[in-house]
Amino acid sequence: MAEKLTAVKGMNDILPPDSARWEWLEDKVRALMARYAYRNIRTPIVEPTALFVRGLGEVTDIVEKEMYSFEDRLNGEALTLRPENTAGVVRAVAEHSMLYDGGKRLYYMGPMFRHERPQRGRYRQFHQIGAEALGFPGAEVDAELILLADALWKELGLKDVRLELNSLGQPDERRQHRAALISYFETNADQLDEEAKRRLHSNPLRILDTKNPKMQALVEAAPRLIDFLGEASLAHFSSVKAILEANGIAYSINPRLVRGMDYYNLTVFEFITDSLGSQGTICGGGRYDYLIEQIGGKAAPAVGWALGVERVLELIREQGGAADLPVPDAYAIVPETSALPVVLKTLQALRALGVSVQMHAAAGAVADGMGSMKSQFKKADASGARFALIFGAAELAQGSVAVKPLRGEKVDAAQAQTLQPLATVALWAHSLRAGV
Ligand code: ATP
Ligand code: MG
């Protein structure tokens, strides 16, 4: 046998029955987004590397060390597998002048790629669902997005998710804070680790995000951005908070919440759980009013968030919540191969009526009849179907199909007396859909 090939480290196959939980989550998201009038957008998985370098910032974890970048073998173009989707959405919005007739509310779902150390809740291919509102400057849209995320947690039955909030102010306020921060860290240079020293002049704000326990006290006492915010920034922040309070959304202010990308301003937020260990942030976002301009579009305000699908599903599992696993309504039992033409025709009609049916099929390397009735009933039972449809010789000779409940339900005896298989199943399908 040839050497076995396996998936790339940190990139997972999502298999049934687990994939049903993904579909369940995606269905919930689609329905919820529709209720908030957010529309689906799908951008390419590969983008020019420059989009992320310019959009996310050169001195961010993602751009510095997490991107899957490569050169197009044929034309030498610098390309990158998207590590996030906000930059791609913004590029598409600018490229297609989508804001010419007003703001747009958009959402996406899909795989993202970051070269990180794989562990629970952290993968190299992972999936995000994101919502972005572009062209709206007001705090009401920041709040709408937070309410949308909160509604999603409720819809999914999640508990114990807390909201942390901060304001990053505007670029000139950040510059003043940055200068104060640099001089503070310079005065305490002996307490900085290597990474912090490297970041001191390139991205001192990211030092606040350090996970180094030896630097916590230093970081704790650093000048706070909130003290540098002007009136307009504070008013925007107050409006967001007032709307959340009016809606009963609990939050806590985390002055050290800075987020991993450079593009944020004003409101930033994260939804966090304590149930997933150190990978506890399930969703993060904020305002990014300067990103569109940054990547060459016409300036427009914007705000959005992205959630990690793997972490959300893990949290649901952790909290004992379960998505309904799909089961067919019926399993078709086929004692003789000679019945197959009638069986497939009948099942086609049944499916057209909206009934889900799993057909028994010969299994194994070589077809050798359909298998014993006993083994077929075993499979019918294992499928989780509510009913078995038995296409036996006796039934077919009479032009009928037997309907046998597998989960202790009752079926109308009249169903068995119908003359045509199609009529039998049509009648049965009708009663099934009527909830009998
Ligand atoms: P972290 O601090 O955990 O690395 P982040 O700040 O890099 O997260 P974002 O870029 O804000 O994360 O992405 C939004 C969400 O996507 C995160 O809150 C998380 O739920 C999820 N996420 C980010 N990176 C990964 C990954 N490598 N594997 C799985 N999920 C991820
Ligand atoms: Mg990260």
| Alpha-carbon span 346 to 424, nearest angstrom | 10
Q: Is the pLDDT of residue 83 over 50?
A: yes
Nearest CA to ligand 1 atom 25: 122
Pocket test for ligand 1, best of 12, 115, 275, 281 (most atoms within 8 A of CB): 281
Compute the CA torsion angle 38, 39, 44, 48 (nearest 10 deg): -50
Parallel, antiparallel, or unpaired: how do β-strands 330-333 and 357-359 relate? parallel
Fold of 330-433: Rossmann fold (3.40.50)
Exposed/middle/buried for 435, CB within 10 Å: 0-12, 13-18, 19+? exposed
Q: Which pLDDT score is estimated for 411?
A: 66
- Centre of ligand 1 from the C-alpha of residue 109, in Å: 14
The answer to whether 255 and 225 have CB atoms below 8 angstroms apart is yes
pLDDT value for 33: 98
Q: At 354, is the pLDDT very low, low, confident or very high (cuts 50, 70, 90)?
A: confident
Ligand 1 atom 24, closest CA: 122
- CA–CA distance, 251 with 240 (Å, rounded to integer): 11
Residue 340 has pLDDT above 90, yes or no: yes
- Given a cut of 80, whether residue 430 has pLDDT beyond it is no
Mean pLDDT of 321-331: 85
Cα 432 from Cα 398, distance rounded (Å): 23
For residue 261, give the ligand 1 atom closest to its CA.
10
Q: Tell the residue nearest (CA) to atom 9 of ligand 1.
A: 284
Residue 417 pLDDT: 45
Q: Which residues line ligand 1 (CB under 6 A)?
A: 84, 114, 116, 121-123, 126, 128, 260, 279, 281-284, 306-308, 310-311
The minimum-distance atom of ligand 1 relative to the CA of 61 is 7
Give the pLDDT confidence score for residue 215 in this predicted structure: 94
**pLDDT tens, 135-151?**
999 999 999 999 999 99
pLDDT at 272: 98
Which of 3.30.930.10, 3.50.50.60, 3.10.450.50, 3.40.50.1100 would CATH assign to domain 18-169+229-318?
A: 3.30.930.10
Q: CA geometry: angle at 227 spanning 225 and 230, to 5°?
A: 95
Where do the structural domains in the chain lie, given as residue ranges?
18-169+229-318, 330-433
User: Amino acid letter at 45?
Assistant: I
Read off the pLDDT band of 419 (50, 70, 90).
very low
Tracing tokens 């510059």 back to the chain, one arrives at: 175
pLDDT of residue 413: 55
Range in 78-82, 275-279, 429-433 the model is least confident about: 429-433
User: CA-CA distance, 425 to 435, in Å (whole number)?
Assistant: 15
CA–centroid distance, residue 261 to ligand 1 (Å): 11
Mutate to test the pocket of ligand 1, among 279, 303, 309, 316 (most ligand atoms within 8 A of CB): 279
Distance CA 129, CA 33 (A): 11
More confident residue, 134 or 369: 134
Q: Which of 376, 391, 399, 380 is nearest to 339 (CA)?
A: 391
Whole-number average pLDDT of the chain: 92
Better-scored residue on pLDDT, 61 or 148: 148
Tokens in use for 359?
Answer: 């057909």
Per-residue pLDDT, 435 = 63
